Amino acid sequence: MWTNWSGGQRCSPAVFARPGSRAEVAEAVGAARTLRVVGAGHSFSAVVPTDGTLLSLDRLDRVLDADPASGLVRVEAGIRLRRLSRELVARGLALPNLGDIDAQSLAGALSTGTHGTGGRLGNLATAVESMELVLADGSERTLEGGDELRAARIGLGALGVVVAVTLRCVPAFRLHAVDEPQPLEDVLAVLDAHVDAHDHFELFTFPHSPLALTRTNDRTDAAPAPPGRVREWAQEELLDNHVFGVVNRVARRAPRTIPRLNRFAGSASSRRERTDHSFRIFASPRRVRFEEMEYALPRARAAEAVRACREILSRHPVSFPIELRFSAGDDALLSPAHERDTAYVAVHLYEGMDHSAPFREVEALMGEWGGRPHWGKRSELGAAELATRYPGWDAFGRVRAALDPGGRFANPWVQRTLGPVAP
């Protein structure tokens, strides 16, 4: 039995394969009726579950080549982002941007459109220069441009098994990070100014709290000044995880307390400042489990989307905050930020709490603005609804038909989300 991180997805595959070489990947693909690839299991959607072959790339996790002069790094697809970041900094390099957790595999993060925040920066897949795949017939293909690469950068595991990726990295850098609570409406009134003034900007707000916790990260030449171990443990483990976990358990047992708990959690946020290597600033430990839905909207809709989501969630027992992040547009065919500067609005529910009603309402709201779901988060949309939201939808379908004409890399989620392989 395989289960994802949140516990919301599970399956009993007929075969669980852990190849240690490309030849073993090709062998597993050739023997499979249907095959899905699993990374670290940090997707909330049903992108992974299969009753066919489930293939893990955990043993394909090496840095194969790195050129600090050009910034090009060739790496196997199963490496975890946390380890990749440490391998890069040892070579004087870094990824331009990261999300707020780094437990995912590289291939899984790229294939689902994982992103960080920064109005001038794209998602993780924009750093991809080329991708090496094992295809349905067992052959290998290196994709270096055109629609094939634009499709594979965020390929949902539907094109082949990604075995290696060449990334364009940047010189290692440090960030000065400031977390600061502010009145939400004051922030939303000048939201673009906040986004444009910083390399990275995001905010969190609880449905019943008038406050937002703003988070800004900016490049700096200052020496690292991380918090001491005790202070770091008190913030990241005690408050952000243990205390927050207790608050959510109380909310699950006594939903009527949620408005007061929201206001308490919002008011308990305090100003925090630190300077460190970029990957240490971007990512934080996440031990409180939840389910998540996230939608990518035109950036101009960000403020009204936050207000509207707060209104919806305030009518439901929701003890988690709304998260707002930003990215620049890109050209990946199925990127949620395809050809538009984007605001990402994420809503969460604590594990064991029914997310179906609030998520349905939020999804309907996002559809009014042409919202595109994050592929690794919860969504109930199918191919007919999604096709109208992606200008590159048909081009992706043509690449899929060329690389996997028999649909070997499909599962029920792929069939519903992408539809059948085009003739």
From 123, 153, 171, the end of a domain falls on 171
Query: What are 371-396's pLDDT values in tens digits?
Result: 999 999 999 999 999 999 999 999 99
From 373, 396, 414, the end of a domain falls on 373
pLDDT at 238: 81
For residue 124, the domain's CATH number is 3.30.465.10
Number of domains the chain is built from: 2
215 and 160 within one domain:
no
pLDDT at 79: 98
274 and 160 within one domain:
no
The whole model's pTM is what? 0.96
Within-domain flag for 128: yes
Query: What are 135-145's pLDDT values in tens digits?
Result: 999 999 999 99
Within-domain flag for 202: yes
Query: What are 34-70's pLDDT values in tens digits?
Result: 999 999 999 999 999 999 999 999 999 999 999 999 9
Within-domain flag for 13: no
Within-domain flag for 135: yes
208 and 79 within one domain:
no
pLDDT at 230: 80
Within-domain flag for 262: yes
- Angle (CA) 290 291 295, round 5°: 130
Within-domain flag for 52: no
User: What is the rounded average pLDDT of the residues 167-176?
Assistant: 98
Within-domain flag for 243: yes
As a whole number of Å, the end-to-end CA separation of the chain is 34
270 and 180 within one domain:
yes
DSSP letters for 8-77? S-EE--SEEE--SSHHHHHHHHHH-SSEEEESSS---SSSS--SSEEEE-TT---EEEEETTTTEEEEET
Full residue range of the structural domain in which residue 89 is found: 58-171
Order the strands of the 161-168 sheet from edge to edge: 63-67, 72-76, 161-168, 128-134, 140-143
162 and 180 within one domain:
no
218 and 164 within one domain:
no
85 and 184 within one domain:
no
Q: Taking a C-beta distance cutoff of 8 angstroms, is the pair 41, 5 a contact? A: yes
225 and 166 within one domain:
no
The full 3-state SS of 334-373, as one line of letters, equals: CCCCECCCEEEEEEEEECCCCCHHHHHHHHHHHHCCCCEE
Burial class (CB in 10 A: 0-12, 13-18, 19+), 305: buried
For residue 290, the domain's CATH number is 3.40.462.10
Query: What are 234-280's pLDDT values in tens digits?
Result: 788 888 888 999 999 999 999 999 999 999 899 888 899 999 999 99
pLDDT at 226: 84
- The pLDDT of residue 115 is above 90: yes
Within-domain flag for 401: no
User: What is the rounded average pLDDT of the residues 339-363?
Assistant: 97
User: What is the rounded average pLDDT of the residues 98-117?
Assistant: 97
340 and 248 within one domain:
yes
- The pLDDT of residue 353 is above 90: yes
pLDDT at 86: 97
Mean pLDDT of the chain: 96
360 and 260 within one domain:
yes
Please give the share of the chain, as a percent, with pLDDT higher than 90. 93
91 and 127 within one domain:
yes
From 123, 154, 171, the end of a domain falls on 171
248 and 359 within one domain:
yes
- The pLDDT of residue 16 is above 90: yes
User: What is the rounded average pLDDT of the residues 225-240?
Assistant: 82
